[in-house]
Structure 1
Amino acid sequence: MNACRLALALGLAGTALVAAADECLPKVEQGWVRSPPVAMPMMAGFARIENPCAAPVAVVSASSLSFAEVSIHETREIDGVNRMREVERLEVAAGGLVELKPGGLHLMLYRPQTALKEGDKLSIALKLADGREIAGEFEVRKPKP
């Protein structure tokens, strides 16, 4: 009987440890979307992705009900010309930070589903390689000088 109780206790303890590890999630903070010109079919989103967890994570896709499509891109200067490319996997180190900012990594937001204006707030979800999702609030605004 005591062996059964011990086995049950160990099983529950193991489940609790797995659940605790799953609870640590990166955070999307300071999200903003560049205020668009009238009738612009695409916009750009920026934020800080902080990973306070003990293990690295990877962002593999993004989505939002506010846009038909969302993807992760990076702008790089090649031979004096800024070029943009899609990023399929964005790694965030354990205890690390990745900044999505103008002129670097950013979210491309295609075909807004409604007219967006300065001050509007919307949610963008980032899907992690392990299947979990994290969401952040993004405010539509002009870039800070």
Structure 2
Amino acid sequence: MLAILALLSAVIATPACARGKPDAACVPVVRDGWIRLVPGGMPMHAGFGRFENPCATPATITGAKSASYASVEMHETRLVDGVSRMRAVPTLPVAAKGSAEFKPGGLHMMLMDPTKPLKAGDKVRIEFALQDGRVVRGEFLVR
């Protein structure tokens, strides 16, 4: 009987996200976010960083937005037949306890038409919409 009580106590003490059930307290996070300014005042920038999902359940990013840009899209650059090609990524699944890295030459964000001029050192908030209705906010440093 003591063994059963000990086991039950351990299960109750384990966070829901570690048991594989959705838990509002277990939320993906954005780390090391940065935005690359381009010379000449081009109306689009590229965003990079790491989207981490520490939860026991997968997450799917269905879109992104920012008050600092007219639109934010996820894109991926791939080498196809020796030619670098970019394509939009409408949804991005992120495995349980996994991550997605937005980096130059690969998966990245295209940030179009800034709502005001940005300079190195500015901080931009980007919100990622998840398939389950949650929103994950990340801060991105302009450089």
User: What TM-score range do you get, normalising by the shorter chain?
Assistant: 0.7 to 0.9
Q: Does 1:61 align with 2:66?
A: no
Instruction: Give the AA of the match of 2:56.
Output: A
Which secondary structure state, in structure 1, belongs to the residue aligned with residue 73 of structure 2? strand
Query: What does 1:1-145 correspond to in 2, within 5 Å?
Result: 21-141=23-143
Instruction: Give the AA of the match of 2:32.
Output: Q
Deviations 1:47-82 (A, max 9, x none): 101100000000000000000000100000001111
Corresponding residue of 1:14: none
CA-CA distance at 1:36 after TM superposition: 2.2
Corresponding residue of 2:5: none
Which secondary structure state, in structure 2, belongs to the residue aligned with residue 23 of structure 1? coil
Calculate percent identity across the aligned residue pairs.
53
CA-CA distance at 1:23 after TM superposition: 2.0
CA distance in 1, matches of 2:81, 2:121: 37
CA distance in 2, matches of 1:116, 1:21: 37
RMSD: 1.8
CA distance in 2, matches of 1:42, 1:22: 34
CA distance in 1, matches of 2:95, 2:56: 9
CA distance in 1, matches of 2:55, 2:87: 28
Unaligned runs of 5+ in 2: 1-15
**TM-score, normalization: structure 1?**
0.82
CA distance in 2, matches of 1:60, 1:97: 15
CA distance in 2, matches of 1:115, 1:37: 13
CA distance in 1, matches of 2:64, 2:100: 15
Instruction: Give the AA of the match of 1:119.
Output: G
**TM-score, normalization: structure 2?**
0.83
Unaligned runs of 5+ in 1: 1-16
CA-CA distance at 1:37 after TM superposition: 1.4
CA-CA distance at 1:38 after TM superposition: 2.8
Please say which of residues 36-45 and 76-85 is displaced more in the overlay. Answer: 36-45
Which secondary structure state, in structure 2, belongs to the residue aligned with residue 38 of structure 1? helix
Instruction: Give the AA of the match of 1:129.
Output: Q
4+ residue segments displaced more than 3 Å: none
